[in-house]
Amino acid sequence: MQNEDNLAPPPTNPRRRPVRWWPAWIILGLLAAVIGVIRLRYDLPYQSRNLATMITLAIGGALLWLWWMLLSRTPWRQRLWIGGAVALAVGSGAALFRIRGVSGDLLPIFEFRWAASAVPVAQPVAEVSSNAPTKTVPAVAGLVRPDFPQFLGPTRSCVIAGPRLDRDWSAHPPQILWRQPIGAAWSGFAIVGARALTQEQRGEEELVTCYDALTGRELWAHADAAHYQTTLAGEGPRCTPTVVSNRVFTLGATGILNCLDLADGRALWSRQLTNDAACSMPGWGFAGSPLYLDGRVIVSAGGHDNRSLRAYRADTGEIAWTGGSAPAGYSSPVLVELAGVPQILMFNQKRITAHAPATGAVLWEYPWGIGQPHVAVPVIVGTNRVVFSSGYGVGAELLDIAPAGDGHLAATRVWKSIRLKAKFANFIARGGFLYGLDDGVLACVDLKDGSQQWKEGRYGHGQMLLIGNFLLLTAENGELVLLRPTPEGPNELQRFKVFAEKTWNPPALAGDLLLVRTDQHAACVRLALAP
């Protein structure tokens, strides 16, 4: 007789529960909805939308990982393999790469952690293009190279009187005379004679450096023990030197104001703004290039109690006057005349102020924004009218300045427009229109009412100079762009690649020599001139 135990059916495995997908679909659906809302919020600054999108993606990725590990109901071996692989990939990425600042649109820029910055030595050797001379540059017959002695040029306006540029870069391309490593900074060059001066960070020292403009050979360097660096703001000084006669005036990121001898970099006097004005360093560092006026050097410190804007005697460094109580912004002081009154305009945090050049007394002030960084210098567009513009969704305003009695002036808004948001790229006025980078895209705005004529050409957050009818633009991606803008269109003519990295620093033009730099490299580009 057969054993009944042998006839019993074999035991069966308990039924495996299906994967729980619905939490993942909910997370993905919410992720798509939130990102869609963020991208469609055109009232928010473009950079804020980018930052919010990245944060949302990071949170969504973390929630999906937690769902997979804790709620998916997949076999634990599968959870550990896949979840561990994702965690390993994220950890490896963090170990291999670091964030080297951000783009003008607040997108992170990654580099390998072992990548070393190429810091120049005492006598740097120029990397010279194959078709360029190494030591001497032949003179151009009849060409006198004017100085570019300060931030944005002789008039601090981005407008250069000459020379006439050759528009045919195919036949006569720009020529790189030298290109070499440079210490980190967002400073530009000042050019006086054959000397090119800038500021840089090398290790724990903040430097003012002087180079031979034609060869890139370092002539001298002045060092201070100072170091500014943050992930978002980058590293090093932010101001461009101001050169007057045989003196060089510089302001470092931490507030060191220097007066140096142009010949050899010898320190003549030095001040510390944070001590003088009893103020703290702005979040993105001191960024206003010194203004020289009537034997005084004028800088913005941002101190309270009438200590915001400060004038120092150029010969001794003694305090000549102080005025205003607005916190410091990141714009540079400019001398203008409005309503028949000479005045120093200062684009501060949350407030515009105008000061009497002789005493620093506030002549008029006007509220601005809610505390976003203000960088672009104001543009004068008439005997009593001035345009201010800033990024982060704020836009531009045309102000009318008129007498208000008791020696004071009053500012009245003529129009406000969000069609020109100059984040930190300076803009220009020409022929009744404004031309500038609106959140990184070149735009033309009508001065009559602030309406937009056109907006095209994403050049990023670069800088520009107007030379005659031509707009010379250094794009954020390192390209040099030549345009002839009109109210009908940008009319891009030529492009030429100078750098392969983020280019924010303002350019400097002396005749046919264009000095450009980034936070890693500097170069001298020779531009062909029109016959």
Residues 50-97: tens digit of each pLDDT: 888 989 999 999 999 999 999 898 999 988 999 899 999 999 988 888
Mean pLDDT of 162-181: 94
Look at residue 148 and tell me whether its pLDDT is greater than 90: yes
Query: Residue 163's pLDDT band (boundaries 50, 70, 90)?
Result: confident
pLDDT at 12: 53
Tokens of 494: 């030529």
Around Cβ 475, how many Cβ atoms within 10 Å? 24
Identify which of 2-6, 135-139, 383-387 has the greatest average pLDDT. 383-387
Give the number of C-alpha atoms closer than 13 A to the C-alpha of residue 460, restricted to the C-beta side.
20
Asked which of 167-176, 288-297, 354-363, 368-377 is least confident by mean pLDDT, the reply is 368-377
Q: What is the DSSP letter of 486?
A: B
Main-chain phi, psi angles of 82, to 5 degrees: -70, -45
Look at residue 469 and tell me whether its pLDDT is greater than 80: yes
pLDDT at 232: 81
Is the model's pTM score more than 0.95? no
Q: Are 473 and 464 in contact (CB under 8 A)?
A: yes
pLDDT at 134: 40
Residue 58's SS3 state is: helix
Closest CA to 285 of 230, 243, 349, 240: 230
Tokens of 197: 């001066």
Query: Residue 481's pLDDT band (boundaries 50, 70, 90)?
Result: very high
Sign of CA dihedral 92, 95, 96, 102: positive
pLDDT in tens, 494-506: 999 999 999 999 9
The share of the chain scoring above pLDDT 70, in percent, equals 92
pLDDT in tens, 130-140: 343 444 455 56
pLDDT in tens, 5-17: 555 555 555 566 8
Q: Are 269 and 316 in contact (CB under 8 A)?
A: yes
In sequence order, the β-bridge partners of residue 519 are none
Query: Residue 474's pLDDT band (boundaries 50, 70, 90)?
Result: very high
Q: Write the burial class of residue 145 (CB in 10 Å: 0-12 exposed, 13-18 middle, 19+ buried).
A: middle
Look at residue 127 and tell me whether its pLDDT is greater than 50: no
The share of the chain scoring above pLDDT 90, in percent, equals 76
Residue with tokens 């008029």: 364
Q: What is the mean pLDDT of the chain?
A: 90
Q: Are 320 and 332 in contact (CB under 8 A)?
A: no
Closest CA to 385 of 374, 396, 369: 396
Rounded to an integer, what distance in angstroms lies between the CA atom of residue 172 and that of residue 401?
46
pLDDT at 328: 93
pLDDT at 486: 97
In sequence order, the β-bridge partners of residue 229 are 235
Q: Are 320 and 313 in contact (CB under 8 A)?
A: yes
Look at residue 166 and tell me whether its pLDDT is greater than 60: yes
pLDDT at 133: 40
Look at residue 119 and tell me whether its pLDDT is greater than 60: no
pLDDT at 43: 75
Rounded to an integer, what distance in angstroms lies between the CA atom of residue 380 and that of residue 388?
9
pLDDT at 103: 80
Query: Residue 305's pLDDT band (boundaries 50, 70, 90)?
Result: very high
Q: Are 252 and 238 in contact (CB under 8 A)?
A: no
Query: Residue 445's pLDDT band (boundaries 50, 70, 90)?
Result: very high
Look at residue 346 and tell me whether its pLDDT is greater than 50: yes
Query: Residue 116's pLDDT band (boundaries 50, 70, 90)?
Result: low
Rounded to an integer, what distance in angstroms lies between the CA atom of residue 196 and that of residue 219?
9
pLDDT at 125: 36
The CA radius of gyration of the chain, in Å to the nearest whole number, is: 28
pLDDT in tens, 226-269: 999 998 888 999 999 999 999 999 999 999 999 999 999 999 99
Mean pLDDT of 420-431: 93
